[in-house]
Amino acid sequence: MEVESLSSLLTERHIGETCVICEQMKMRGIHLYTSFICTDCEHDLIHTDTDHPKYKFFLKQLKKVNTPEIFS
């Protein structure tokens, strides 16, 4: 019962995340380490040929993704 109320509360307050590629607020996407990639950019990235100029843009934006450091 508490889980359902917490889940609905989080859903109501969640307005999206900023995509690391298009830099827009989006609701749906994936997380790559600590970064968020929206479903639109994910789809474009997967279907773009490596010789297309837009692919270089994707690579430039993906360089912003950092691997999280694990401290022991």
30 lies in some domain:
yes
Q: Which domain holds residue 39?
A: 15-62
Total domains present in the chain: 1
50 lies in some domain:
yes
Supply the pLDDT for residue 21. Answer: 95
71 lies in some domain:
no
10 lies in some domain:
no
- Of 14 and 68, the structure prediction assigns the larger pLDDT to 68
3 lies in some domain:
no
Query: Whole-model pTM above 0.75?
Result: no
Supply the pLDDT for residue 6. Answer: 44
Least confident of 1-5, 17-21, 32-36, 45-49: 1-5
6 lies in some domain:
no
> DSSP states of 10-68 as a string?
HHHH---EE-TTT--EESSEEEETTEEEEHHHHHHHHHS-TTSHHHHHHHHHHTT--PP
29 lies in some domain:
yes
d(CA 44, CA 54): 9
- Condensed to tens digits (0 to 9), the pLDDT of residues 8-42 reads 444 445 578 999 999 999 999 999 988 999 999 99
39 lies in some domain:
yes
